[in-house]
Amino acid sequence: MDKKKFENHYMKQFDEELEEIRTRLMEMGGKVEQQLQNAIRAVSEADSKLAEDVIREEQIVDDMELDIDEACILIIARRQPAASDLRLVMMVTKAVNDLERIGDEAKKIANHAIILAGETGTSEGYTEVRHLGQSVLKMLGHALDAFARFDVAAAMMTLEEDKQIDLDYKTALRELVTYMMEDPRSISRVINILWVVRSLERIGDHAKNLCEQIVFVVHGKDIRHR
Amino acid sequence: MNVKRETTAKPAVMDTLEISEHQATVGHCFSDNAKMTMRNVNVFYGEKQAIFDVNVDIAKNEVIAMIGPSGCGKSTFLRSLNRMNDTVEGCRVEGDVRMDGEDLYAPKLDVVELRARVGMVFQKPNPFPKTIYDNVAYGPKIHGLADTRVDLDEIVENSLRKASLWEEVKERLHQSGTGLSGGQQQRLCIARAIAVSPEVILMDEPCSALDPIATAKIEELIEELSENFTIAIVTHSMQQAARVSHRTAYFHLGRLIEVNPTEQVFTMPEHDLTEAYITGRFG
């Protein structure tokens, strides 16, 4: 299914409204992706200024969520969408929620980045953050690409990436615990890193939700909790 | 993971005008608990064929909605269920239409009795220019369903109650039926249909001349009636089909394209033509 599927309504305005929420969701996805990227960079480069930008711009993501949700409610009220149109609108309301949560997690990461930048100490844990951060960023990018093309095969492949992220998360946890045992003075710092890693893992889950929603839009099959 | 890629077996929306002659209906057309069965039904108006090879069952106590663009054959289909098409000159029905196994097109079948068993409600409320009471009592009288005046009173009251009209008209049963509001008139027509104890009620766009409140009352009534009757309804309102029916049948250019549970048809129709129609797209 490509975006053509959402065109050709007798009411041209309806085409435009569906296209509008789709485009705005993609914009929001792009913004969230950028927030995540900056948050990860803020941690690994100890850049508190960048972290502050991320925290400030979280508001933009929140506003986008409200706008898109409102547009979806208007479509339901005005058009009473059915079948694939209905699935698209429902999907978009859920997807903006996931994206907003990803934005929240990015903000949390940025908060920890500021704390970490103020602390002195070794660089233990940063490798884990960078590694997991790259995997999560890639997965989010793949999920958004799959959504842009309504590509179920790509969504299914992206879903699988979450398994690796969960594994990497567990490995990272083990390593971080080891650092804390080796040097109890590092506990407060490593706990901050642990929260960052935890946020990254949560973002993987939200990206997974996005992929499941793509399958729902295209095939009408709900593959959650399977 | 049980996700399938979209198959190419389904006809694309753009191929609308090239539906093959023998294309079978998709979905769930048949029932183990059929009240009416139609097999290989073709209907012609003179030379022009209006219905092509329809095969479908209508289950006992179900509400089945027929949807489709104007001229798709859904009303023709409905009328072939109680031989209303007999009254149309040049109309010819081929194939097998049965109720409880009985051939409805058998030459010796009593058509008047059939139309009592398969009642009909039309788009425009059409009460007789008689009193409310007589509108309802007329059918039972001519079919000899009431021996005494008391029996007849009871039938009238029961029918009006079932049609959710009793409370509104019980004080003025002997006033003219045509003096009622549109919605009340339509419920009077439903009471009139119910009065002869039909088994099936056919409704041909019963709400299209009514306001939203009267429509809501009729829809609520349909839900209640389905406990005792089998109902086939033709409607142009897709929301109405979604609200009142258990199964929805989609007709297109005289062909039955899809029959499926209503919740499926409006969330995940099986056929691209159904999808195009219910989402308001060119098809």
Q: Could B267 and A221 be called an inter-chain contact, meaning their C-beta atoms sit closer than 8 Å?
A: no
3-state secondary structure of A118: helix
* Domain residue limits, chain A: 3-219
Instruction: With CB atoms and an 8 Å threshold, state whether A83 touches B281.
Output: no
Q: What token pair was written down for B234?
A: 């033709």
Q: What's B142's domain CATH number?
A: 3.40.50.300
CA distance B47 to B149: 50
Per-residue b/e over B1-14, b at no fewer than 16 CB within 10 Å? eeeeeeeeeebebe
Contact B268 A1 (CB under 8 A): no
A152 contacts B3? CB cut-off 8 A: yes
Closest to A202 in 3D by CA, of A64, A129, A101, A65: A101
Under an 8 A CB cutoff, do A85 and B282 touch? no
Instruction: Encode chain A (226 residues) as per-residue pLDDT tens digits.
Output: 554 567 889 888 999 999 999 999 999 999 999 999 999 999 999 999 999 999 999 999 999 999 999 999 999 999 999 999 999 999 999 999 999 999 999 999 999 999 999 887 667 778 889 999 999 999 999 999 999 999 999 999 999 999 999 999 999 999 999 999 999 988 999 999 999 999 999 999 999 999 999 999 999 889 998 7
For B275, the closest of A14, A80, A84 (CB atoms) is A84
pLDDT at B27: 95
Fold of A3-219: Methane Monooxygenase Hydroxylase; Chain G, domain 1 (1.20.58)
The CA distance from B249 to A8, in Å, is 23
| Residues pairing with B78 in the sheet | none
How would you classify the pairing of strands B34-45 and B91-99? antiparallel
> What is the domain count for chain B?
1
CA distances from B159 to B126, B127, B139 (A): 17, 15, 11
| Residue A10 sits at the chain B interface (C-beta within 8 Å) | yes
In a domain, B32, yes or no: no
> Which residues form the domain of B146?
40-278
Contact A82 B2 (CB under 8 A): no
Which residues lie closer than 8 Å to B27 by C-beta, 6 or more apart?
B258, B259, B260, B264, B270, B271
Longest dimension (CA), chain A: 68
Among the partner-chain residues A9, A219, A220, the one whose CB lies closest to the CB of B279 is A9
* End-to-end Cα separation, chain B, in angstroms: 32
Distance in Å, alpha carbon of B267 to nearest chain A alpha carbon: 4
How near does any CA of chain A get to the CA of B13, in Å? 10
Q: pTM for this structure?
A: 0.84
What pLDDT is attached to residue A1? 52
Chain A 139-198, CB below 8 Å of chain B: which residues?
A: 152-153, 156
- In B, what residues contact A, Cβ < 8 A? 1-6, 13, 238-239, 242, 266-269, 274-276, 278-282
The Cα B154–Cα B156 span in angstroms is: 5
Cross-chain residue pair B278–A83, CB shorter than 8 Å: yes
Range 42-101 of A in CB contact (< 8 A) with B: 80-87
- Chain A nearest C-alpha distance from B90 (Å): 35
Asked if A123 is an interface residue toward chain B (Cβ–Cβ < 8 A), one would say: no
Q: Give pLDDT tens digits for B7-57.
A: 333 333 333 344 444 568 999 999 999 999 999 999 999 999 999 999 999
Alpha carbons A96 and A61: distance in angstroms, whole number: 9
At B29, list the tokens.
């057309």
Query: Cβ(B36)–Cβ(B62) under 8 Å?
Result: no
Q: How far is A158 from chain B (nearest CA, A)?
A: 14
Can you read off the two tokens belonging to residue B226?
């389905």
Closest CB to B280: pick one of A14, A219, A221: A14
**A226 and B1: CB-CB below 8 Å?**
yes
B266/A82 Cβ within 8 A: yes
Give the residue on B whose Cα is nearest the Cα of A215.
B3
Q: Which residues of A touch B280 (CB under 8 A)?
A: 9-11, 14
Q: In angstroms, rounded to a whole number, what is the distance separating the alpha carbons of residues A70 and A68? A: 5
DSSP lists the bridge partners of residue B99 as B36, B102
B47 found inside a domain: yes
User: What is the C-alpha separation between A221 and B268, in angstroms, rounded?
Assistant: 9
Mapping DSSP to helix (H, G, I), strand (E, B) and coil, where does residue B98 land? strand
Q: Measured between CA atoms, how close is B280 to chain A, in angstroms?
A: 5
Is the CB of residue A223 less than 8 Å away from at least one CB of chain B? yes
> Helix, strand or coil for residue A222?
coil
Query: CB distance B268–A83 less than 8 Å?
Result: yes
d(CA A139, CA A155): 10
For residue A19, give the nearest of A11, A27, A1, A7 by alpha carbon.
A7
* CB spacing of A219 vs B281 below 8 angstroms: no
The partner residue sitting opposite B267, judged by closest CB among A9, A86, A223, is: A86
Residue of B nearest to A9 (CA): B281
Looking at this predicted complex, what is its ipTM?
0.78
- pLDDT per residue of chain B (283 residues) written in tens, 0 to 9: 343 333 333 333 333 344 444 568 999 999 999 999 999 999 999 999 999 999 999 999 999 999 999 999 999 999 999 999 998 999 999 999 999 999 999 999 999 999 999 999 999 999 999 999 999 999 999 999 999 999 999 999 999 999 999 999 999 999 999 999 999 999 999 999 999 999 999 999 999 988 898 899 899 999 999 999 999 999 999 999 999 999 999 999 999 999 999 999 999 999 999 999 999 987 6
Cβ–Cβ under 8 Å, residues B115 and B201: no
